[in-house]
């Protein structure tokens, strides 16, 4: 059911309003509707917590921890971080293995590394 909140969804897809289950809002209008509907349901707003990973996720306060631990967007963010770290390490390995010491001229990179080490 988390998929229904995904950002990459069909803009015409209908999403149930967290404030009023009778509201079915098109995905493209969902953020606007939330702002509007929130004003009509101040008591609901107090009961709902906003997901830190996606402001469209309005979850009952008692469920926010469960939601955070299973939020699809968190998974995306974490995967992004992992991917970035991996690709960074790959880049580094590539540079290191491709790097050949220049035959005579001073390499400023080497000088920098030496300064950091000593
Ligand atoms: Zn609504
Ligand atoms: Zn979320």
Quick: pLDDT tens for 23-77: 999 999 998 998 899 899 988 888 999 999 988 888 889 999 999 999 988 877 7
Q: State in Å: Cα 39 to ligand 1 middle.
A: 10
- Structural domain includes residue 101: no
Is 40 strand, coil or helix?
Answer: helix
CB 71 within 8 A of CB 22: no
Give me the number of domains the chain comprises. Answer: 1
Q: Is residue 25 within 8 Å of residue 17, measured between CB atoms?
A: yes
Q: How many angstroms is it from 20 CA to the middle of ligand 1?
A: 5
Q: For residue 64, what are its two tokens?
A: 């926010």
Q: Are 67 and 53 in contact (CB under 8 A)?
A: no
Q: How far is the CA of 89 from the centre of ligand 1 (A)?
A: 46
Domain carrying residue 28? 2-73
State the ligand closest to the CA atom of 65: 2
Query: Is position 9 within any domain?
Result: yes
- Between 82 and 18, name the one with better pLDDT: 18
* Residue at 93 is within a domain: no
Paired tokens of 54 = 């996606």
Residues 6+ apart with CB under 8 A from 60: 47, 48, 49
> Quick check: is 92 in a domain?
no
Q: How far is the CA of 12 from the centre of ligand 2 (A)?
A: 20
């Amino acid at each position: 059911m988390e998929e229904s909140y995904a950002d990459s969804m069909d803009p015409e897809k209908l999403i149930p309003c967290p404030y009023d289950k009778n509201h079915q809002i098109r995905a493209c209008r969902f953020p606007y509707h939330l702002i509007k509907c929130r004003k009509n349901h101040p008591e609901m707003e107090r009961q709902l917590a906003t997901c830190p990973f996606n402001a469209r996720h309005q979850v009952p306060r008692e469920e926010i921890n469960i939601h955070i631990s299973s939020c699809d967007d968190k998974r995306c963010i974490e995967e992004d971080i992992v991917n970035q770290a991996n690709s960074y390490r790959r880049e580094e390995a590539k540079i290191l293995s491709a790097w050949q010491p220049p035959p005579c001229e001073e390499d400023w990179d080497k000088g920098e590394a030496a300064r950091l080490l000593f």
